Amino acid sequence: QVQLVESGGGLVQPGGSLRLSCTASGNIVSINTMGWYRQAPGKQRELVATSPSYGSTNYADSVKGRFTISRDNAKNTVYLQMNSLKPEDTAVYYCTGLFRTVETVMRYWGQGTQVTVSS
């Protein structure tokens, strides 16, 4: 079993910044891709950014140039630095990753953290 705990959400004014963190714990053997998704009210969950173990990061067009995903593999932690935030970035942000444990390989999700961009 793997647990993902997110932090760093909150209320910020347009143009402001936030940094989300997500730390994984449990019987982890290895971690493949980690990333962030978001879901706004009345909309489907959408990809924000992903960071594979090897290879390039990937971003949604709507956040390119404003958001940066990074990982600290020693801490099993992924971050999302969000700059120049817009009201349309308001959503619940979910951390996810593909984990290999002793028993299996499967995707886990965090509980979500609310980001609200408003003046």
pLDDT number for residue 55: 81
Mind listing the pLDDT tens digit for each residue in 35-52?
A: 999 999 999 999 999 999
64 neighbors 56 (Cβ within 8 angstroms): no
Q: Which of 35, 17, 51, 54 is nearest to 94 (CA)?
A: 35
Mind listing the pLDDT tens digit for each residue in 3-30?
A: 999 999 999 999 999 999 999 999 999 9
The token duo for 117 is: 């961009």
The DSSP-derived string for 65-92 is: TTEEEEEEGGGTEEEEEE-S--GGG-EE
